[in-house]
Structures are given as structure tokens and as C-alpha cells.
Structure 1
Amino acid sequence: MDYVSRVPAPPLDRFIDDIYCLTGVPGRRLMNVPPMPSAHLYLNLGGPARLWDSDPSVPPVELADGWFMGVWTRRFLFEYPERVHLAGVHFKPWGISPFADLPATELRDRWVPVDAVWKRSADRIRNRIGDTASAAETLRVVEEELRSRLAPSRGLDLVRHTGGQLATSHGTVPVGALSAVAGVSGNHLAAQFKAHVGVTPKRMARIYRFSRAILSVDARRPVDWSALAHTMGYFDLAHFSREFKDFTGHTPTAYLALRRRFPAEREFPPDHGPMPAE
């Protein structure tokens, strides 16, 4: 598939990693997506996609127009249509907050239709893009929409600053140190993270640490899992293996075997978190 993206101009880049356009025929349609340090907006310009929560009590959904997704703390399954045409936004974990007038906890571990967040907007945005728009034009329309939606959000500067420290340290900086340096109590910082990210700083640190671990795995080479667990700050290999299985549904060795059977497309996806579902 073709993935065309760009980082938006300031001030959007404080909240967004990239805006992208994805087109083509997927090599594997059903993907297993572990928790990653990001939130998302998808604008579907093609056939409907299907999603399944790893929590069996949550019914699957089919989404044709567009949807928001907050930070996920567990894995989910995503099925591409036979031919993909979508525009998307990779938000930083706190990035949806100034664009959506609702608590981030309402987007955590959920997919919510665009029209439920931006009232009656999905068709208007899709019509502006049109069926034949170039990737560059698609990105321009999405960026304009985001810029028009940007609004101040109280407490977000604190979360953005401390969240940036979690990102830079890959989740290894102690959460107590974050609140101490920021000059606020741990309870206040946790409350602000829940409001703007949907999860506590401790949970966000776990996701950052796991994402660094999974993205550092090179399936073409042998992996010393004990050394990797130590480097990433896990207590021991057993701790790392439990978290790995919880987040991916696979043991580390089973994950490595899966990656070797189904190598990621060259230069796609932009991260190697999503994996083929068997």
C-alpha cells in the first residue's frame, strides 16, 4: 500500500505526529494492533472497515465513514477492506484533547464515529476531499479541518510537558519525578492525564516502554529477550513476557516467529506495532 504523510505546521505539530493518506491493496487484511502511544482519527474514503475488541464482551463494529480512537490499553483487531482509501491522523497521546469536546476517558479503548464527536461532519469532509483528490490535496483538507477545530484546553500544557518527558525517556522516568519537577501532586497529575489522555501517567509509561521494546525487535536477527527486557527497564524476563503476552496476545518467541512468517511491507507501516492476525 502507498503511505503518504506529513507533519502538520505549527501549532498542530504540538499535538499531532503526522497526517497521512493510505491507498492500495493490503498485503494482509486482518491486523492485530497492540497498545501504542498514540490516538487516531480515520476518515474512510473507501469500503467499510471492521474492528474487534480483544475484550469478548464488546461487540464488533463495521465503520464506513470515519471514527476517532483514543489511547488503547489492550489490543484490538482491525480488518481492512479489499481496497484501502483512507485519510488518517496519528495524534500524540494527549493530542485529541484540544480537538474533541469530551473527556479523553470516553475515547479510551473505544472507537467513536466522527459525527459523534464532530457533529454531522464526516460527509462534509469526505465531499471536500472527493473521490479523485491527490494525496497532497487530501492532507491539505484534513489539516485545514484540524486547524479550524483547535481550541484551548485547560491543563493540557502540564500534560503535554510531562507526556513529552515520558516519550523522550520511553516510559522509564519515574512518575513521581514527573510530578515533583512539575511542582504538582501525583494525584493532580494523574487527574489531568485522565482528562486529556484517558489513562494515568503510570499506564502511559507502560505503553511507551512496551512500544520501544516491540519496535526495537529486528525479526531478521536473533533476539536476546533477557537482554532486551533488561535494557527496556523490566524487572525480569518473566515480567517482560507477561506484559508482552498481555499486549500482543503472543509470547515473545511466538511473536518473533510470526514476524518472520509475515515480514512488514518495506517502509510500511510507519511503526511495526500492528501485526498480521492468524
Structure 2
Amino acid sequence: MLRPYIEKYYILEYQGTATGQPFEVASPANCYAALVFNYQSDYQLCHANGHEQRLSGSFIAGYSTEGYRIRLRGTVGMVGVVFKSSIFRTWFPALTNADINDQRIQLPDLVGSEVEFINDQLAEAENHTERIQLVESYLMYRLRKTHLPTHMADHALNIILQKRGMIRMDDLAGMVNISPRHLRRVFSERVGLSPKFFARLKRFGYINIILSLNKDLHWQEFTIDGGFYDQSHFIKDFVQFCGHTPSVQILKNRHFQHSVLTNG
């Protein structure tokens, strides 16, 4: 029953070192909203502008328009629910994407004390299967309480996701039967980003995953296949959303894979 709403679940666990040294994970920009249940130690979110935010408990994470890092220390345990498109509003109708883009909003501030017991149950769960079941039970509870009709901006957003960001805005407007100007207005109001920017963000995300999974590929191959006019546009988007060039990213991926193979 939750399949139409959920893109995926993830579980992150990390046992800190004896010296207490933090461990950092870098994340590029992305077009996913997520619900995170943090049932172990707090951790730091390091924004690209240098601002740091301590995260604990449960929170909603919006689309990220720039790269960021998370700094883990101590015992880390969290379950994440990645939503399809802007479907998270089914559970939290008071929010729009514009409210949470590049933000983390504490869940108790939205729903009150009903969520406070979940983190304790997650920490006491015997395995990951049980943790996912606990989270799904809560989502089903919320689903029965609220439901919103589909918005035309959601339809446009889903098309962008299906096309992996590789679509002209005039074509997109035609597919949802509104003018390009009206599309820009309703999409920006609903999502907090213009449809063109969101398409760039999705296109980058798709290409970055492909490069991460295929270490022998050359990024130049994506200039045309990825919907870019030339290499300069491709590099510009990559630097904006990842913080460095595609060549540097490929080297990072290769070094990481080499480390896993030699140490794993």
C-alpha cells in the first residue's frame, strides 16, 4: 500500500572510533525529500555555506540544491524514508517543498508527541526488518489521518523525474496542458524551485549515479546523452551541484572503490 509513495528506505549505522574522531560523509545536491528517524547519537549537518546544524530525533529533510556533509560521531543509527516526488505532503499537508528545501525540520514540531516513542522502539529493535516495520506502521497511521488530492505541479514534477530531467519546459507544459508561464508559477509555488532548475537537479543526480556505479566511463560521454548542449554546461552543473568537476568525482569514486576492495 505504501509503494506508490515511497522511493526507498535506507538504514545507516556507524560505530564511532575509540579515539572519538568524527567520520564525515559528503552528499551532492539531490531532488529527494526524506523522513529520517535518528535513534542513536546526534550528528552535525555541515552546509556548503559553512553553517552547521546539530540533528537529533526525527526530522523532515527537503530537496538539497547544493552539496553538504554530515559529520558522524559516537554510535550512529538512523532509518530514512525517501519519498517519491512531493508526495510527503500526503502525510504533512501543512508543509510545502518551499518550506523545507535545504532545511531540516524536527518532526515533533509538526505532529507533536505522537512520534516521540518511535525512536525508542527503533533503538530497541532486534534487526533492520523490525525497524522498517515500525516505520511503516507509523506511515500507515499518518496516511489514514491525512490525504491530499494530486496537484498539477506534482504531475509535472513526476514527469521530470520519469524523464530524468531531460525534457524541454515547453514540452512539459504541453504534457500537463498549461502554458509555460503558468507552469513556472504553480511549480515554483508548490515545489519552491523553478521547473527548469528542478530538471537540472534531477539530470545531475541521474548522471552522478551512473558515474559512481561505472568507474570506467568517461564523463564526456554524457555531454549529449545527458541532454547538455556542450561540455561547458555539463561541467557548470556538476560543479554547482557537487562542488567539484566530474573528473575529480570520478577519481574520488575510483579511490573509494579501491579502498573497499583492498580493505574490505
TM-score scaled by structure 2?
0.85
Amino acid at match of 1:230: I
SS of the aligned residue for 1:141 comes to helix
Q: 1:93 to 1:25 in 2, by over 3 A?
A: farther
Q: 1:234 to 1:219 in 2, by over 3 A?
A: same
The correspondence of residues 262-273 of structure 1 with structure 2, limited to 5 A, is 262-263=256-257
The correspondence of residues 6-21 of structure 1 with structure 2, limited to 5 A, is 10=1, 12-21=2-11
Match for residue 236 of structure 1 among 230, 235, 238: 230
* Percent identity between the two aligned chains: 21
| Corresponding position of 1:67 | 59
Please identify which structure carries the higher helix content: 2
Match for residue 12 of structure 2 among 22, 39, 61: 22
Whose radius of gyration is greater, 1 or 2? 2
Match for residue 148 of structure 2 among 147, 150, 153: 153
Listed one character per residue, the Cα deviations across residues 26-55 of structure 1 (whole Å, up to 9, x for unaligned) are 899211211122111111111111101112
Gaps (5+ residues) in structure 2? Answer: none
Moved over 6 A (4+): none
| Corresponding position of 2:157 | 163
Q: 1:109 to 1:89 in 2, by over 3 A?
A: same
Contact 2:200 2:237 in 1 (8 A): no
Q: For the residues of structure 1 that align with 2:228 and 2:182, how far apart are their CA atoms?
A: 27
SS of the aligned residue for 2:112 comes to coil
CA RMSD in angstroms, aligned pairs only? 2.5
| Corresponding position of 1:211 | 205
Greater relative contact order (Cα 8 A, min sep 6): structure 1 or 2?
1
Q: For the residues of structure 1 that align with 2:100 and 2:159, how far apart are their CA atoms?
A: 23
TM-score scaled by structure 1?
0.81
Give the deviation of 1:229 after TM superposition.
Answer: 1.7
Amino acid at match of 1:94: S
| Corresponding position of 1:110 | 103
Amino acid at match of 2:250: L
Listed one character per residue, the Cα deviations across residues 32-88 of structure 1 (whole Å, up to 9, x for unaligned) are 2111221111111111111011123xx311112122111111111112334321111
| Corresponding position of 2:239 | 245
Amino acid at match of 1:65: G
